[in-house]
Amino acid sequence: MTEQEIDELFAITLTGEYDDEDPWAAVRKLRMNGNQSIFENASAWCVSPEPLKRARTADILCQLRAPKSVEQVEAKKFGEPIFVQDSFQLLSRMIEQETDERALESELHGLGHLGQDGAVSVLVRFAMHTSEDVRFAVTCSLGEFPNDPMAVETLIGLSEDTDKDIRNWALFALASQSNADSLALRELFVRHLNDPNSDVQEEAIAGLAKRQDPRAC
């Protein structure tokens, strides 16, 4: 990928609305063709006064991969993750100073994708954030650390959130992704058998079934 192509893709990531397809297609192309230039370009945006640029820094770096080898293409595999530790440190510093909720969401989601030690202690600080979108980002990312005791404890709290999507993702992480098991956790699943949201109910059933609890029936 030439420098001109890289610059053009970065420009496209800033067009339209945040969730539009064209900017996200550009993000994905940058992610899948990662190199030093893309890393440096994205990193330069981490101190931008524009929240969208800071969000795109996280969106790109959290899944930056080397271009696929011939073997990986034939095996339909992704390229190898690159600059993972550097990206983790960068996003962690950004989160400490972030004032924009949209950018903060991207940065918190990014920590989950990077999957590095130390992420949980950063994420749990935002579990009680006033924004449902921020709490949802925390929930999704904590699901990448399903057997970390601090993550499990925080997900248990998030499973009682007023937002159904947060409850659903928290229950999914605890029920299906985590191997944690305790009387308190099983009782949590039992309580959610009567959750007003059917998706949450299904996750509660899955959690009991995985632990071979007869109340899953």
What tens digit of pLDDT does each residue of 43-67 get?
999 999 999 999 999 999 999 999 8
Give yes or no for a contact between 98 and 14, defined as CB atoms under 8 angstroms apart.
no
CA-to-CA separations, 165 to 45, 57, 131, 145, in angstroms, rounded: 31, 26, 13, 19
Encode pLDDT of 32-41 as tens digits: 999 999 999 9
Retrieve residue 75's tokens.
């095996």
User: Whole-angstrom Cα distance, residue 67 to residue 119?
Assistant: 26
The token duo for 64 is: 């930056």
3-state class percentages of the chain: helix first, strand second, coil last, to nearest 5: 70, 0, 30
Question: What is the CATH number that goes with domain 144-217?
Answer: 1.25.10
Q: What's the count of helices (H) and strands (E) in the chain, helices before strands?
A: 13, 0
Q: Span 136-148, mean pLDDT?
A: 97
pTM: 0.93
pLDDT-based confidence at residue 70 (cuts at 50, 70, 90): low
Q: Residue 81, SS3?
A: strand
The residue whose two tokens read 């990206």 is 87
Q: Are 126 and 108 in contact (CB under 8 A)?
A: yes
- Res 16 pLDDT > 80: yes
